[in-house]
Amino acid sequence: MAEFRMPSLGADMEAGTLVEWLVKPGDQVKRGDIIAVVETQKGAIEIENFEPGTVEKILVEVGTKVPVGTPLAMIRAEGEPAMSITAPAQPPEPAVAPSRPLEPKAPAPAPTPAPAAGAEAEERVRISPAARRLAEQHGIDVSTLLGSGADGAILLSDVARIIAEPKIGGARGRGFDLAAMRDAIAAAMARSKREIPHYYLAQPIEMTACQDWLAAVNAKRPPDRRLLLGALLVKAVARAARKFPAFNGFYRDGAFKPAPSVHVGMAIAIRGGGLIAPAIHDADGLSLDALMTEMRELVGRVRSGRIRSSEMADPTITVSSLGERGVEQLYGIIYPPQVAIVGFGKVAPSPWIADGKVVARPVINATLAADHRVTDGHAGALFLSEIETLLQEPETL
């Protein structure tokens, strides 16, 4: 007994609908006879029989859609006994078009909140594969590295420099006791907020001059000799502090004493939650190149735990910049016994009025938190204004 099956008529045919039987049980059929018509996506196609014999039984009724290979009828060859009553081995099943389950779209991730002033969020380190490999080979924690590449990327040269530096203090790795430091910071901050009457001022500063000047200067320099915006900011603050001594010094024992030198404390975050602000000594007198070098080295040493205690105690004014973290304005807490802290947010294109028209300019928000026992808002405004003026002529810094 032969099975007449739904034929495959093409590579993309999966099923067909039987629309007409041209034979009935008892009919004689030859090889090549057209015995049924099947509807496919291309139209109705006549299907031919290949086994000579007699049609024994129709298995699939008109109008049924079945997959390729499904038996449609039984053909009895000459001389074969008639089929017994038992059901055929494979009962035909109508084809069920498989439906693709709709895949739900993954919900958009919630935006990460901007980190609070002074804290360092866990983040991806921007480092080239080769630099990472070199750092790993030398056991250097990549999160302690400062990068000189585009967007602060850490390059081979940055790692190589760290490897080449002699270590102060001998011991490798971190020189900090993080827990102790956190306690100290907590105490200092609490005291500051308790004892120092803070006032806050903010000043948006147009940064086109700085950006243009930096681009021009840096275009001619190899990566490890380029100036970053931070150097301009620190230098401007340092020179303004020199001009306005009421913001540069210490308040102790009920009195303020201006400092003879300007040592700018640079707030540097440490992975794990620490924050220190070691000093760049005589920042007002350093050339920008020298300042940049100092800043780089300082960060490098902070992150690898090799800071001298004098650097920790000496700052006469502090600068904190969270621009890279995306913060627009920063309201700092003064580090006692200092009397001021200047904060900078990110440089972002903002509406600006020029010649009576609204234009887009790169703008940074500078903020001043100062000790109201020593200065007032008027002086603070002049101080910030001086910083602004200085930043309009970066070539003079």
Partner 1 sequence: MATTDKPRLSRDHVLELLRHMIRIRRFEGKCAELYTQEKIRGFLHLYDGEEAVAVGVIPVLESRDRVVATYREHGHALVRGVPMKAALAEMYGKQEGCSHGRGGSMHLFDRSTNFYGGNAIVGGGLPLAIGLALADRMRGSDNVTACFFGEGAVAEGEFHESANLAALWSLPVLFVCENNRYAMGTALALSESETDIQHKAACYHMASEAVDGMDVVAVEAAARRAVATIRETGRPYFLECRTYRLRAHSMFDAQLYRDKSEIEAWREKGPILRFRTWLEQNNMLHPLDLVRIEAEVGAEIDEAVAFAEAAAWEPIEQLTRFVYAEQTARDRPVNHVATKS
Partner 2 sequence: MLQQKAESQATETTYREAIREAIRDALKRDERVFLMGEDVGRYGGCYAVTKGLLAEFGPERIRDTPLSESGFTGAGIGAAIGGLRPIVELMTVNFSLLALDQILNSAATIRHMSGNQFGVPLVIRMATGAGRQLAAQHSHSLEGWYAHIPGIKVLAPATVEDARGMLWTALEDPDPVLIFEHVMLYNMTGMLASDAGPVGINKAAIRREGNDISLITYGGSLWKTIDAATALAVEGIEAEVVDLRTLRPLDDATIMASVRKTHRAVIVDEGWRTGSLAAEISARITEQAFFDLDGAIGRVCSEEVPIPYPRHLEEAAIPQVPKIIAAAKTALTGG
The contact set with partner 2 (CB under 8 A) reads 126, 128-133, 147, 149-151, 153, 155-156, 220, 222-223
What does 175 interact with, of partner 2, partner 1, none (CB < 5 to 8 A by kind)?
Answer: none
Contact range with partner 1 by CB under 8 A, out of 6-14, 192-200, 296-304, 311-319: 6-14
* 3-class secondary-structure state, position 368: strand
State how beta strands 340-344 and 317-321 pair.
parallel
* 3-class secondary-structure state, position 351: strand
What does 40 interact with, of partner 1, partner 2, none (CB < 5 to 8 A by kind)?
Answer: partner 1
Q: Establish if 40 lies at the interface with partner 1 (CB under 8 A).
A: yes
**269 vs 116: CA distance, rounded Å:** 12
State how beta strands 268-270 and 279-280 pair.
unpaired
Do residues 179 and 189 lie in contact, with contact meaning Cβ atoms separated by under 8 Å?
Answer: no
What does 150 interact with, of partner 2, partner 1, none (CB < 5 to 8 A by kind)?
Answer: partner 2
Residue whose CB is less far from partner 2, 153 or 188: 153
**277 vs 9: CA distance, rounded Å:** 79
Token pair 């931070």 in the structure block, residue: 230
Binding string, residues 16-35; x marks residues near partner 1 by CB under 8 A: ---------------xx---
Q: With the CA atoms of 245, 251, 253 and 257 taken in that order, what torsion angle do they form, in degrees rounded to the nearest 10?
A: -20
Q: At a CB cut-off of 8 Å and minimum separation 6, what does 191 contact?
A: 336
Q: Where are the beta strands (DSSP E) in 263-347?
A: 264-266, 268-270, 274-276, 279-280, 317-321, 340-344
Residue whose CB is less far from partner 1, 14 or 206: 14
**294 vs 279: CA distance, rounded Å:** 10
Find the binder of partner 1 among 19, 45, 189, 382 (CB under 8 A): 45
Q: Establish if 9 lies at the interface with partner 1 (CB under 8 A).
A: yes
CB of 83 to partner 1, least distance (A): 22
Q: Establish if 42 lies at the interface with partner 1 (CB under 8 A).
A: yes
Q: Establish if 48 lies at the interface with partner 1 (CB under 8 A).
A: yes
What does 149 interact with, of partner 1, partner 2, none (CB < 5 to 8 A by kind)?
Answer: partner 2
Read off the tokens for 196.
């120092």
What does 155 interact with, of partner 2, partner 1, none (CB < 5 to 8 A by kind)?
Answer: partner 2
Read off the tokens for 360.
């887009």
Nearest of 245, 234, 242 to residue 280 by alpha carbon: 234
What does 107 interact with, of partner 2, partner 1, none (CB < 5 to 8 A by kind)?
Answer: none
Binding string, residues 54-93; x marks residues near partner 1 by CB under 8 A: --------------xx------------------------
Residue whose CB is less far from partner 1, 44 or 190: 44
Q: Establish if 7 lies at the interface with partner 1 (CB under 8 A).
A: yes
What is the Cα 68 distance to its own chain's centre?
52
Q: How far is CA 118 from CA 72, 147, 334, 339, in A?
A: 78, 20, 12, 18
Binding string, residues 325-364; x marks residues near partner 1 by CB under 8 A: ----------------------------------------
State how beta strands 268-270 and 198-206 pair.
unpaired
CB of 31 to partner 1, least distance (A): 8
Residues within the interface to partner 1 (CB under 8 A): 5, 7-13, 31-32, 40, 42-45, 47-48, 50, 68-69
